[in-house]
Amino acid sequence: MKKVTARQHAIYNYIKEFILLNKFPPTVREIGEKFGIKSTNGVRDALISLEKKGLIKKFSRQARSIELLQSAPSIATAAHVPLIGRIAAGTPILAEENVEDTLAVDKALLPRSSQIFALRVQGDSMTGDGILNGDLAIIRMQKNAERGQIIAAIIDGDATLKHYYPSENRIELRASNGAYSPIIIDEGDSFSIAGILAGVIRKC
């Protein structure tokens, strides 16, 4: 059997769980909504791949027409990355109350460090670096950074991605979209570095 990707594995597991719960399979549209796939053709392509790998059978003329043929093999290449929401004050980054969800990501796309988490990008302040609203930023945990690096900064419990420019008495966090002014961090302000940007995943 050809290798099953992390994305295909996740879709297969969703179909399996949906059938167990509802006693019938999901529609193409329901799968698309679950995984943020806007195009029905994108979902159909994923189903075609699963069918070619012998995991499902799809009857094209029926709305709920997916039949499971066998269990998907486990994916040794998939890593489970915690998706962090608002950071609870005083708690470690990976504390349970901070984790919104867990993402299955191909290990080949990740840095080797085991201390990794993801943030969902909100807004357009980093579009100059090709980081768009809704993207998932993969962050390698560390407490320091070099000048100019893109960091995940924690300010009053909120995480933000910005370029890091420290000076003797203050820190500037700069956006790459010129419409945004720098964020100025003075001594005594609630600020910490959660990690540096290791990569970006865009959900199509």
- One-letter amino acid of 133: N
Residue among 74, 162, 176, 192 flagged as catalytic = 162
Residue among 39, 107, 125, 143 flagged as catalytic = 125
SS3 content of the chain, % helix, strand, coil (to 5): 25, 35, 45
Contact yes or no for 142/107 (Cβ under 8 A): no
Work out whether the CA dihedral 159, 162, 168, 169 comes out positive or negative: negative
What span, in angstroms and rounded, lies between the C-alpha atoms of 102 and 116?
A: 12
What span, in angstroms and rounded, lies between the C-alpha atoms of 1 and 53?
A: 6
Q: Which two tokens stand for residue 15?
A: 């179909």
The yes-or-no answer on residue 125 being catalytic is: yes
66-68 and 56-58 beta bridge pairing: antiparallel
H-state helical runs in 83-199 = none
**What dihedral angle (degrees, nearest 10) is formed by the CA atoms of 107, 113, 118, 119?**
-140
CA atoms within 13 A on the CB side of 89: 3
The yes-or-no answer on residue 52 being catalytic is: no
What span, in angstroms and rounded, lies between the C-alpha atoms of 163 and 90?
A: 24
For the annotated catalytic residues, the residue numbers are: 125, 162
